[in-house]
């Protein structure tokens, strides 16, 4: 019984870490996209002048 408790504990830990990594990658992509959109808007404003 102790073995399965340990396996379950490790599985939960792994799922939690994978979820955190996925959230970090998602947030990083969102921040990068927002940054590039902002830079594109600045570039478009410069071209209109």
Q: What is the largest CA-CA distance in the chain?
A: 73
Given this model, what pLDDT does residue 49 score?
66
Residue 38 domain boundaries: 20-49
Residue 26 in any domain: the answer is: yes
Position 22 pLDDT exceeds 90: yes
Mean predicted confidence (pLDDT) in 19-33: 91
Residue 39 in any domain: the answer is: yes
Alpha-carbon distance 8 to 4, whole Å? 6
Block residue for tokens 């970090």: 24
Number of domains into which the chain is organized: 1
DSSP, res 11: H
Residue 7 in any domain: the answer is: no
Q: Which of these ranges, 2-6, 20-24, 25-29, has the smallest mean pLDDT? A: 25-29
Closest CA to 24 of 40, 39, 16: 16
Block residue for tokens 């410069």: 46
């Amino acid at each position: 019984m102790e073995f399965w408790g340990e396996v379950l504990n490790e599985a939960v830990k792994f799922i939690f870490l994978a979820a955190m990594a996925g959230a970090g990658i998602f947030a990083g992509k969102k921040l990068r996209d927002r940054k590039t959109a902002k830079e594109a808007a600045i570039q478009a404003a410069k071209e209109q002048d």
